[in-house]
Amino acid sequence: MSSNFLEADVGAVLAGVFRDSSGVVYAVNPTRETISEVIFGLHEVETPPTVRLLAPGDPIKDVLADFIVAGRAADLVDAGTLALRVLEEPPEASLLVTESAVVSLVAGDDRVGGLSAADEAFVADVRDRYGREWDAAEDYSLRTPPLSAVRETLAADIGTDTAEDFDALLDSLAVAKGEGEGLDEVAIALLVAARNGQLLYDMSKWGEDVGLASKATFSRMKTRLEDSGLVTTEKVPIDVGRPRLRLRLAEDLREMDLTELGQIAQEQLYD
């Protein structure tokens, strides 16, 4: 890799670097936007390199608070395509260090440049530096399960209709952090469960088993959805023990498409 990149956005620069790279690429001190674009960009490359992402803890945490991003990051981590570690003393620049070049990311007013240096001795020196930084850095603990595992287990344990609705509602959101920035993953799961008449017990057990959230978190969100007028429950008797609760959407929401349901849910939960 010897050429510079000049593109409309950082995602396009990353795509060019990833297409031209093999082996290990260090992504050093990426911005929040770049962390997100690294994750989405790796999903788009047919044969992606292995990216070792070194960044301060706060930007990683902020980006991965969004389930849309975190679930995809977990897929990459699970596949061995991405690893995350916390960089204590980041450099001023944001760098991509491939096996053949050092690329500095520079944002202009309307374009992003990837300025490349390919001198072999310089590249080797920089790779050695960040190899040492990587070895000394702490792993970032990503607690979100892989999105592929969420989808597969939801279809298998709960039902394909609920899993398809989960995907559709998630895809309708620009962000899935909760607390006014979209719906979080537990709210999404419970809304689509209510749309399909699933039991709270089954959903919360599935969610805890797959690592999405605890049963207590599901129970608290169910209460918030009820208090907001979005969901109702019906008691379902069982042979032994307390009745189970079947989730239902509020009557005036049952004919809504998922995009509209998501918008209404955000308004009523967080306004």
Structure confidence at residue 241 (pLDDT): 67
pLDDT tens per residue across span 16-27 = 889 888 899 999
Helix (H, G, I), strand (E, B) or coil at 233: strand
Evaluate if residue 158 carries a pLDDT over 80.
Answer: yes
pLDDT tens string 79-134:
999 999 999 888 888 999 999 999 998 888 788 888 889 999 999 999 999 999 99
For 192-197, what is the mean pLDDT?
98
Arithmetic mean of pLDDT over the chain: 93
Output the pLDDT for position 1: 54
Average pLDDT over residues 52-78: 96
Q: Which pLDDT score, from 0 to 100, does residue 270 have?
A: 84
pLDDT at 2: 53
Task: Tell me what percent of the residues of the chain surpass a pLDDT of 70.
Answer: 99
Provide the whole-model pTM. Answer: 0.90
Residue pLDDT, tens place only, 218-260: 999 999 999 999 999 999 987 776 789 999 999 999 999 999 9
- Indicate if the pLDDT at residue 5 is higher than 90: no
Q: What is the pLDDT of residue 155?
A: 98
Alpha helices by DSSP H, the chain: 10-19, 32-44, 57-64, 67-79, 120-136, 147-157, 160-171, 185-195, 200-210, 215-227, 258-270
CB 170 within 8 A of CB 68: yes
> Which tokens hold the place of 158?
């709960």
- The pLDDT assigned to 111 comes to 85
* Encoded amino acid at 66, one letter: D
Q: Could you tell me which of 43, 123, 113, 111 has the C-alpha nearest to residue 75?
A: 43
Find out whether 116 and 103 touch, Cβ atoms under 8 Å: yes
pLDDT at 271: 74
- Percent of the residues in the chain that have a pLDDT greater than 90, as a whole number: 78
